Structure formats: structure tokens, C-alpha cells
Structure 1
């Protein structure tokens, strides 16, 4: 049994969820799963259709972005994943999609406003949008710089990666993360649905106000607070 079998299986299963959830078209996206003790992560091979994936063709990469094991080139976004794993010690999975509504908000360079309790069930603030990357960063190590672009966005907004597990990269698309690859994919699906709801809300009422703070706190704390009572 390979010492990387567990994260290969986790990454494979998480990647297979993306098309099932309607979050990707063709090969537009990737998920990775990390093993903190070994200092590596498994990630989707670049350009391979989801229906052709297997646990064995997941690529093993270290937190510097170097391939450790695998017969395929890793995802073109691998260096972004590596930067986030290296600097954020409590995440175990990262997902990147070009889902329709989330990407539309990213292309519009707008944060997703918190308009309703569905949003508040998962986070208490607007889902932030990082400013588009400047020309020097684009001309440099682009995917590597995307990781720092994401981290800078949260820092500028005064958010921690543990309280806000999703972000839009301006002019690009969403990235999400979590304790596991499964949670990262869950967050991608949540982001897409909240993005869709926010878009429709603004079409119905262009003057809509953000959700009031009492409802934000109530809905978030009943799922995540010390006295949470949602679920079994």
C-alpha cells in the first residue's frame, strides 16, 4: 500500500464531485487533499477529464510545488494550492472551480453581499473578491502569486482563513478550502448557490439591503456557536 493512498483516494473522490454538483465544465477546476505529517498533497492531473480520473493518476506534490510522485503533470493551479498549504497550517483541502455564478461575480470584481440566511448559515460577511492581479505579478510566477493574492485579500479585509473559507479572485474565479478536500468541495457548492441567490435577489430588488446583523448572528451561531443546536 502506498503511503499516499489515502490522500490520492480523497483527492479523487473530491474531484469527481465537481461535475456531479454542476461546478465545472470539461476540465475547468481541481481539488487537492493534503497530508500534513508528510508535507504533501494530492491534486488532479492537468487537463484530464473527470470521467477518466483514478486515484492512481492523482499527482503528489510538496508544499513548495514540486512533484514528489506521479506520472502526469499536476494541475496548472498547483502552485496556488502549495502556497496556501504552506502558509495556512489548518487546512487539509482546496478546491478551485469556474462555476457560473461565482465566476460571474469574480469577473464583475464584486464581493458576494450577504443578503439572506443561507449565506449567514455559512459565513457572517460578504464573500470577498480579491483585486485583479497587477501586471508585474501576472508576468512573474502567476500561479504562485495567485496564492499570495488570496492571502492578501483576506488580510486586507481583516478576515482569517478559518472564519472565511472561500474567496473570489478578481477577473478569475472562486477558490475554497477546508479541513478536508470534501469540505472544500462543499464550500465550493455553497459559494455557487449563494452567488446565484445574490444575483437573483439583485434582479428582483436592485435596492435590497444586506441582511440585518441580528439574523446574521442567529443563523450562524445556531449552526456554529458554542450552543449550536442545528443537526444531530
Structure 2
């Protein structure tokens, strides 16, 4: 067996650290943004609904690679905003995941029977209290499978950040390949590294789904 299968691992481990950092921070921010935007998409206020809808449609209608390049290069050229690569990557993941999470939130809330809102009113709760104590907990439970899938998608999307030289898994593997002029072993191990991350994530997600009986 070629030593390159083993020699590339330290490079990829360094990449995994950055991949996980960008994914966890970006998706966490994206969840907050998505929750706010998803509820905005349900608002009866036309301005709030309009802003939320424009954001979701722009992000969902453009490739994440274009979004990455726009955030890193475009903002610098247009507004003189110079972001470091890691910050730009986190913003890209947050904005992209946020748009998709917004639709997950919207669908989750809409899936709750309208009778639940009436029950909240009969208990003397305000609309916001009804959402917080009755609707949201039930909706969040139903969102878990889709949120887990979005996490995995965002994790894999970090591979695109190699275009701005972010040292995530793919970039580190490419650097090793270009240095050693070997390609099969590094790219094979890159795939293995992604599977090492994603398979446990999927198993944990399934376990949570079974526990919550989703």
C-alpha cells in the first residue's frame, strides 16, 4: 500500500478542524437567522414578509460558490470591506443555511394544526406566548430531520471554500497532491474523511429521530 494514504492524514486532520469550525459556527448563526426569517415569512406585515422573501429567494436562487466569491471578493471591491477567509466562509455558510432553514421553519410551523393556536387563546396566551410555548416546541421537533440534513449539506459545502484558499479538508488534500504529484490517494482519503464525519452525524440524527418519535 502506498505511504501516501497515511502521509496525507495529518494534512486532512488540520483541514477537518477548520471544516468543523466553519460548519458549526456557520450553521448555528444560520439557524438563528433562519428562525427569524422563517417566522418573517409567516408575518402578516408586508414589509417583514417582503424582506424575508427577497432574502430567501436570492440565496436559494444563486449557487453557494457565487455567494462565497461575492462575499470575499465582491464586498471588498464594492464597499472596501476586507474580510478574512474564515470570517467570509462562516458568513457564507450562515447566509446560505439560513435561507434553507427559513423554509424548514416556515414549513414546520405551518404543519402545526391551527387548533393549537385556538387552544393558546383559550388559555389566555398572547400570540407570541402561544408561539413560544405551544407552536414552536412542536414545530421544532418536526424540523429535526430536515435541520440535520441541512447540517450535513453545509458541512459538505465547505469544500467549496478551497476556491478562496481556506485550509479545509479539500484544500489540504489538494495541497498535498500538488506537492507530491499523487492524486488518487489524497482524494480517496478526502472522501473517507468526509464519510468519517457525515456517517456518525447521520446515525446521531436517526437516533434523535427515534427518541423523539419524529
TM-score range, shorter chain: under 0.3
Structure label with greater radius of gyration: 2
Task: Specify which structure has the higher proportion of strand.
Answer: 1
TM-score w.r.t. the length of structure 2 is 0.22
TM-score w.r.t. the length of structure 1 is 0.21
Q: Which has the higher contact order (CA 8 A, sep 6+)?
A: 2
